[in-house]
Structure 1
Amino acid sequence: MTASSAKIRYTLGNPFLKKDFPPIPFLKKLCSVTGKNIFTLRRFPPHGTFRKVMPFREDYITMKKISVLLLTVLLTFLFSSVPVLAEDSSSTQDDTLSAVHAIAAFGDSIPAGYGLPGFNPRDLTKATGSFPNLLADHYHLNKAQQLHNYSVTGMTSSDILLSVKNADKDILRETDMIIICSGSNDIINTVGEAMYSAYARMADDFTQAEMIVDFSDLNTIERSLLSLFMDSSKKELLDRFMAECTTEQVLNRCEEAVLQCEANLKEMIAYLREIGAEAPIFVLTSYSPFEAMLHNRLTDELQHITEEMEKRYLSLAQSAEYGYNVSVIDLVTGFKDKYLELTNITSLDMHPSAAGHQYIADAIIHEMEQLSVQKQTSIQLQQHKTAPVDNIIVYMILGIAGIAVAFIIAHGIMIHRKK
């Protein structure tokens, strides 16, 4: 076989392997791009002998630069691929974390929407301005199927505890948000009993003051009492009324009511977790509109009692035993100095106004978003710490192979000069 008919082969001199390499297309392409003759075309017989030819220094330096560049690109890809994959997986989880497909609400007249336009105790969805309905609108829920509002006006914390235990367990397990509004009526009933008794004994005095007394309607008595507290012209009547009330006894019973509220709330949370309801629980504190009234010993003490209940709820939410995925919506602080706007106190009604319900809904939405962000961050950290074993093996193989290739290119490939 003549030299002219011999098979053309790309020959790369390698001082370590001492053999002819087969054609490497990407090196030929690289040669045309860089303008450097990093390899030569040689005519050899198919089984020609190896000739060791050292490359020019210029070509050797060029090869080292190219090798460093290839190694840098390879390592950059390896180290950046892991967080990119984690980001892709977490982005899909983020949508799931922030999604709310069902809500369960337990409480008294506040989540029931008492005092709002359209309120109907038999159909709580009619009070469209109540915060449970506002939440359902925000998350685009079907109120008839995805909003489960178990609230009833007048419920105490003990009543709400029974309501939680009597609710459908499957609904509680599948819901994405659980709201508990408990404790207000425990305090109101305790104070009310003492006040109603004193009010009855002073019926003639109230009549002379042109304040209507109707003992058949508790709402009328409540409105009369609120009017008394807010009207500075009735200060003398208020002083006699306060003297008639057994203040010390009332305060002691209020403190007992706070302890009972705390115990009932603990039992609610424990029961929900026991049956497998893992949704975030939002606990609303009882607010106190007494700062909008005349200040006296009883109203000041009631303000203090409300704040004490708030502290106990906050402490419970931060405890290791009951605080898992539990958030407290602080209405004592949130409503402070805003009672004229956020309640109907000017209409002699302590319930939240439409603006008050909007405030509560916004607070819950904000807290839910914070929980979603925290959970997403926790998942991302966990993914980085516990990467799948198969991915680790793949990256190790790619890394070793890349380093080996770069080493061969940097130190092994030598260019033959033309003969």
Structure 2
Amino acid sequence: MRIPFVIKRAAAAIGAGIMLMSFASCGKAEIHELNVEHNTKVPPKMMFLGDSIAAGYGLEGYKKGDNYHCQSYSNILKEKYERELEGECGHTMVNMAVSGYTSADLIAQIQSGELDGELKDSDAVVISIGGNDLLGIMFGLIDSLGIEDIRSFDIKDIDFASAAAAFISMGSDADKAIEQFSVNMDTITSELKKRTEGVIFVQTLYDPVAYYDQFSMLTEFAAQKILKLNNVISEKSAGGYKVIDVAADFTGRAGELTNIKKMDIHPNAAGHEVIAEDVDRSFRAVGFTYITTEKVKDEPSYGGRVALLCGIACGVLLIIIFIAFLVKRKKN
């Protein structure tokens, strides 16, 4: 039995249609996961390191070893950013500052590895350090002059010959401390950069001693040494960190922003508000990003769309051929 020519043509059309439709199926849309980067003005995760200033020493609610229950600048910003990033990426704050820490102590803490996990995914690392390297020497100078309470001493009681000798000795000690601080800042920076891709920020040291302006010999000495330490912080920033100039906003305001009236150099509640503003301003000047994983639908490729259209056209042609064939058979 011979197969009519039109049937052969129909079969060929069917085969072509099937082939084209199989090609078209390769061009169908697929859903897969894609990492999407988003911009934000503040860090999704921030970490605070350093000394008692960052820990919140002297504030209501502060307890040694617990940096999270006082209105320190880290906690002020934590509350602010939790509200700001709610519904987006959320916010995390870690404060590992330790009251009494010097720059050498901070190096030991970083190198111990105890911070590695938190540092790894931190977007911003903020450091307050240097006060204990230097200010302890200055208050040792006060003790060496026999001043029990600087708030009530009489300048006429000072033996200026002894004072001059003490300033020379303490000045040498302060210079050595600043030199070592400079070396330590290089180490702190390099050790942190090994452990985090976050932006590193270092605060300058404000001058609380300026409050005692009746003792100009001491205030001038302190101002000179603190300026020298802050110059180190600024110069070393070329190694890979941003400077937050807290000192500038405390100039002339030690009595207002610190507890120095009580012989305590630490910031009071108003001082922590000012530091929070400084840190926030520095964050927003840099900007941050976060990543989300989203499901994305791929559209068919150009070739896939062409194949799909050809398959449809072939199907239509096939229908026409069969209709023509049936009509012809009916006439015969």
TM-score, normalised to structure 2's length?
Answer: 0.68
1:235 Cα deviation (Å)? 1.4
Higher strand share: 2
Select 2:179's aligned residue among 259, 282, 294.
259
Q: Does 1:196 align with 2:143?
A: yes
Aligned AA for 1:288? D
Select 1:160's aligned residue among 78, 92, 106.
106
Q: After superposition, give the CA deviation of every residue in 1:324-366 in whole Å (9 maximum; x if it has no partner).
A: xx21111221101111211112232211011111111111111
Q: After superposition, give the CA deviation of every residue in 1:173-218 in whole Å (9 maximum; x if it has no partner).
A: 101110111111111222344443453xxxxxx6xxxxxxxxxxxx
Q: After superposition, give the CA deviation of every residue in 1:157-185 in whole Å (9 maximum; x if it has no partner).
A: 10111122233312101011101111111
Q: What is the CA–CA distance in structure 1 between the aligned matches of 2:247 and 2:42, rounded to whole Å? A: 28
Q: Does 1:300 align with 2:220?
A: yes
Select 2:75's aligned residue among 133, 137, 140.
133
Q: What is the CA–CA distance in structure 1 between the aligned matches of 2:208 and 2:232, rounded to whole Å? A: 19
Q: What is the CA–CA distance in structure 2 between the aligned matches of 1:179 and 1:240, rounded to whole Å? A: 41
Q: Could you say which structure has the greater relative contact order, defined with CA pairs below 8 angstroms and 6 or more residues apart?
A: 2
* Structure 1 gaps, min length 5: 1-91, 200-205, 207-223, 376-393, 395-419
Q: Does 1:147 align with 2:93?
A: yes
* Compared CA separation, residues 350 and 194, structure 1 to 2 (3 A): closer
SS at the partner of 2:215?
A: coil
Please say if residues 262 and 312 of structure 1, whose CA atoms lie closer than 8 Å, have aligned partners that are also in contact. yes
Select 2:259's aligned residue among 330, 339, 344.
344
Please say if residues 49 and 128 of structure 2, whose CA atoms lie closer than 8 Å, have aligned partners that are also in contact. yes
1:50-129 map, 5 Å: 93=37, 95-127=38-70, 129=71
Q: What is the CA–CA distance in structure 1 between the aligned matches of 2:281 and 2:255, rounded to whole Å? A: 24
Q: Tell me whether 109-118 or 237-246 shows the greater mean CA deviation.
A: 237-246
Please say if residues 198 and 241 of structure 1, whose CA atoms lie closer than 8 Å, have aligned partners that are also in contact. no
1:146 Cα deviation (Å)? 3.1
Q: Percent identity?
A: 25
Flag as ranges the 4+ runs of structure 1 deviating above 4 A.
239-242
Please say if residues 178 and 279 of structure 1, whose CA atoms lie closer than 8 Å, have aligned partners that are also in contact. yes
1:245 Cα deviation (Å)? 5.8
Give the equivalent residue in structure 2 for 1:182.
Answer: 129
* Structure 2 gaps, min length 5: 1-35, 86-90, 290-301, 303-332
* Compared CA separation, residues 308 and 244, structure 1 to 2 (3 A): closer
Matched residues, number? 247
Please say if residues 307 and 332 of structure 1, whose CA atoms lie closer than 8 Å, have aligned partners that are also in contact. no
Give the equivalent residue in structure 1 for 2:119.
Answer: 172
* Compared CA separation, residues 282 and 112, structure 1 to 2 (3 A): same
1:10-49 map, 5 Å: none
Q: What is the CA–CA distance in structure 2 between the aligned matches of 1:180 and 1:371, rounded to whole Å? A: 16
Question: Which has the larger Rg?
Answer: 1
1:154 Cα deviation (Å)? 1.2
